[in-house]
Structure 1
Amino acid sequence: MTSAKSWHRIGQLTDIPKLGARCVLTPFGRLAVFRTADDEVYAIEDRCPHKGGPLSQGIVHDTSVTCPLHNMVISLKSGKVLGPDEGAVRAFSVRIDPETSAIELSLTEASAEAPYPVAAE
């Protein structure tokens, strides 16, 4: 049996620059919420599994982020480390309200769902 997701409004899409991130403090710890060049939004834990580096300060490219400390690349979709390295961080469900462009985050469960792109204006 799957529990229903509880969505929490955390800001507007325009609060996050393209290829940038903002942080949110939650009961799960500090999360980094990323916006891609295509206006997809993802949320993962804001700590690199290697040495705990702040992923929110990393470089966003496509649907990945590179840790600013040691260049470990993490998938924004799954939270898994890419390439020859190993490890993972938790990924959380995010959606965009198509009418208001509000970003909503689900803290009910960690997941690796696809992003909810912004509706065309």
Structure 2
Amino acid sequence: MDEYLILMRLDLITKEAQPSPEQMQIYMKMYQDWVGGIAAQNKFVGGTGLSTEGKVIKSGQIITDGPFAETKESIAGFITIKAKNFEEAATIAKECPILRGEGNSVEVRKIVGTDNTR
């Protein structure tokens, strides 16, 4: 089996798009159940959420604050899974609970080694 990254994108900026604390509890339970189902199939490798703060390093050793989300679609987190192929990875990804939110999306990318052995 290969490993795939599922990137979760949603609006982290617009105040109206942010869930209430009660909604957040419901969403987190749905997310935990989804990940638990993947783990039960022995296909969950790992994952985490991401803050909206960070640093961007560019060529020439230039370091700036950021990344600054200029769009409503920000990467909120990711998980890594094991799957037979892209189709299986996409089938798992399409059940991600964040897709229930308007404008949210997930992206599936195969993880490849720098030495092309994966």
Taking structure 1 as the reference length, the TM-score comes to: 0.24
Which is helix-richer, 1 or 2?
A: 2
Which is strand-richer, 1 or 2?
A: 1
Higher RCO (C-alpha under 8 Å, 6+ residues apart): 2
Taking structure 2 as the reference length, the TM-score comes to: 0.25
Q: Which has the larger radius of gyration?
A: 2
